A = this chain, B = another copy of it.
């Protein structure tokens, strides 16, 4: 029996998530049964998609269960194994509980080589967020040299990679972020042509007109809401929208209306495509080759924010939903 700390869903949020939606508790895990492994979490990824999972709405991932630990992409170490696929000491990646330890049947977990890059990178620039950026940019936005690409949440875990991939494709890349420091980093370090602070700009349309004088050919949309509406109006003929996140809507109690004038979709021959990267795991190898290669060659920068201690995960998650993190947000569990 192993005593563990875990964070469970105490109640479902209505509107903004509050700290009392979470409860930290101790629990006793049984010994691994046949086929099970006991995994000690090292790093837990916090991502915006977790917000919709806290409610009961039909989504691409099932809702978290009340009174049960939340789960999230994690890197952990196998402490005990009664599963032939894993051995004690293996470092694994996959969905684990928001907990110090998880009893797991091994499904969906995969072993990683722990020494190639720092462990949190497997949850960020070599993990799901970066894979999301790569898929959307490569398979939906398909920027051509000279085109203008817009990336909302330019320095987020996903956006920072999306923007750099567009830049490497020869596009003019414009983004927005929630504070001036992030905007500065986007331009100086990630190579964006321009990045504006969407909290201090009063007229999103005007700033987009200024920074995207040729309109927008591809929109990497991971925010939604009023920024998306302003971008939508400025999409060029045959523009592509890769839609993978709508954090601006996640805490709405009343569903927000879509952008006005859907006829624009016809006039400009737009393609708006929603996607969830877990549908495309077959391409994971291509992604790792390509993005791993860029990383090795020093052609890709990635920021991350590491929060120390599982107990701080709820507070950090609230900050994530307010855009307070810089780059990939990871919790160091142990």
B271 touches A279 (CB 8 A): no
B261 touches A255 (CB 8 A): yes
B258 touches A260 (CB 8 A): yes
B267 touches A59 (CB 8 A): yes
Q: Does A230 contact B (CB under 8 A)?
A: no
Whole-angstrom CA separation of A224 from B264 in the bound complex: 11
Whole-angstrom CA separation of A246 from B261 in the bound complex: 9
Nearest chain-B residue to A238 (Cβ)?
B279
Whole-angstrom CA separation of A269 from B258 in the bound complex: 16
Given that A272-B272, A273-B271 are known contacts, is A243 also in contact with B260, CB under 8 Å in the complex?
Answer: no
Query: Which residues of B have CB within 8 Å of A272?
Result: 265, 270-273
Interchain nearest-CB distance for A316 vs B (Å): 23
Q: Does A154 contact B (CB under 8 A)?
A: no
Given that A258-B258, A260-B255 are known contacts, is A60 also in contact with B274, CB under 8 Å in the complex?
Answer: no
Mark A212-252 against chain B: 1 for CB-CB distance below 8 A, else 0.
00000000000010001000000001000001111001100
Nearest chain-B residue to A266 (Cβ)?
B274
Query: Which residues of B have CB within 8 Å of A257?
Result: 257-260
Given that A260-B257, A260-B258 are known contacts, is A275 also in contact with B266, CB under 8 Å in the complex?
Answer: yes
Whole-angstrom CA separation of A266 from B245 in the bound complex: 7
Q: Does A206 contact B (CB under 8 A)?
A: no
Q: Does A52 contact B (CB under 8 A)?
A: yes
A265 touches B243 (CB 8 A): yes
Q: Does A276 contact B (CB under 8 A)?
A: yes
Q: Does A262 contact B (CB under 8 A)?
A: yes
Q: Does A202 contact B (CB under 8 A)?
A: no
Query: Which residues of B have CB within 8 Å of A52?
Result: 263, 267
B269 touches A224 (CB 8 A): no
Query: Which residues of B have CB within 8 Å of A244?
Result: 266
Query: Which residues of B have CB within 8 Å of A243?
Result: 262, 265-266
Query: Which residues of B have CB within 8 Å of A260?
Result: 255-258
Q: Does A58 contact B (CB under 8 A)?
A: yes
Interchain nearest-CB distance for A78 vs B (Å): 33
B271 touches A246 (CB 8 A): no
In the complex, given contacts A224-B263, A270-B274, what are 15 additional A-B residue pairs having Cβ atoms less than 8 angstroms apart?
A: A60-B237, A224-B262, A228-B262, A243-B266, A246-B266, A250-B263, A256-B260, A258-B258, A258-B262, A265-B273, A268-B274, A269-B273, A269-B276, A271-B271, A272-B273
B256 touches A261 (CB 8 A): yes
Query: Which residues of B have CB within 8 Å of A228?
Result: 262
Query: Which residues of B have CB within 8 Å of A269?
Result: 60, 273-276, 279
Whole-angstrom CA separation of A210 from B317 in the bound complex: 41
Residue pairs across A and B with Cβ atoms less than 8 A apart, 21 shown, are A60-B267, A224-B262, A244-B266, A245-B266, A246-B263, A249-B262, A249-B263, A250-B263, A255-B261, A256-B261, A257-B257, A257-B260, A258-B262, A264-B274, A265-B272, A265-B274, A266-B276, A267-B274, A270-B272, A270-B273, A271-B271
